[in-house]
């Protein structure tokens, strides 16, 4: 048995604290996904939160969508946007993509997403299996904190 697994087994009460599951693997779920209706005909942004209830970190390694030729992951630091090849999802933590911060960028749109439609997005991870998200298209000025 690997040392890390043994240590975890010995401290099992600590590992499972709060969740009740006792699982040490990453347990990923997606919430709050949306795409503001794009103002440009060929580029759109997307936002979502990935939560990890498990005791092991994972990494978002790629994103794809049948609505776009390419989806890239960007971080925003001090007003500067940079493309990233992966984003960490900490154990018992969250990875947040939100307006003004980390974001997904959809390039080469196959059709113009309209408010009320959904866009299918596939998330690929280093450890966990892929997740498919039906991302709703909201108004161009949608604000998730107010719901408008
Ligand atoms: Cu960007």
Nearest in space to 57 (alpha carbons), one of 21, 25, 19: 25
- Mean per-residue pLDDT for 36-51? 94
Place of tokens 């794009």: 38
Segment 4-21, tens digit of pLDDT? 554 545 444 444 444 444
Distance of CA 91 from the midpoint of ligand 1 (Å): 26
Q: Which residues pair with 87 in a beta bridge?
A: 60
- Mean per-residue pLDDT for 49-60? 97
Distance of CA 70 from the midpoint of ligand 1 (Å): 13
Distance of CA 6 from the midpoint of ligand 1 (Å): 42
Distance of CA 25 from the midpoint of ligand 1 (Å): 31
Domains of the chain as residue ranges with CATH: 25-137 (2.60.40.1890)
Distance of CA 103 from the midpoint of ligand 1 (Å): 6
Query: What integer pLDDT is reported at residue 19 of this predicted model?
Result: 44
- Mean per-residue pLDDT for 101-125? 96
Query: What integer pLDDT is reported at residue 147 of this predicted model?
Result: 84
- Mean per-residue pLDDT for 137-142? 96
Q: Is the pLDDT of residue 134 over 90?
A: yes
Distance of CA 93 from the midpoint of ligand 1 (Å): 23
> Model confidence at 29, in pLDDT bands (50, 70, 90)?
very high
Q: Tell me the pairing of strands 80-84 and 58-65.
A: unpaired
> Model confidence at 2, in pLDDT bands (50, 70, 90)?
low
Query: Is the C-alpha dihedral spanning 66, 68, 69, 70 positive or negative?
Result: negative
Distance of CA 144 from the midpoint of ligand 1 (Å): 19
Contact present, 68 and 108 (Cβ < 8 Å): yes
DSSP characters over the chain: --HHHHHHHHTHHHHTTTTSS---S--EEEEEEEEEPPSSSSEEEEEEEEEE-SSS-EEEEEEEETTEEEEEEEEEETTEEEEES-EEE-TT-EEEE-TTSSEEEEEEESS---TT-EEEEEEEESSSPPEEEEEEEE-TT--TTTT-
Segment 67-76, tens digit of pLDDT? 999 999 999 9
**Percent of the chain at pLDDT above 90?**
75
């Amino acid at each position: 048995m690997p040392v890390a697994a043994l240590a975890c087994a010995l401290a099992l009460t600590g590992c499972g604290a709060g969740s009740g599951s006792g699982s040490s693997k990453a347990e990923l779920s997606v919430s709050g996904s949306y795409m503001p209706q794009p103002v440009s005909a060929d580029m759109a942004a997307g936002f979502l939160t990935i939560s990890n209830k498990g005791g092991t970190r994972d990494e978002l390694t790629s994103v794809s969508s049948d609505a776009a030729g390419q989806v890239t992951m960007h971080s925003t630091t001090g007003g500067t946007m940079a493309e990233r090849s992966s984003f960490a999802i900490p154990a018992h933590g969250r990875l947040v993509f939100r307006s003004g911060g980390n974001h997904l960028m959809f390039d080469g749109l196959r059709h113009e997403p309209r408010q009320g439609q959904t866009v299918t997005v596939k998330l690929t991870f280093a450890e966990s299996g892929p997740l498919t998200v039906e991302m709703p298209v909201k108004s161009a000025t949608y604000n998730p904190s107010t719901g408008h």
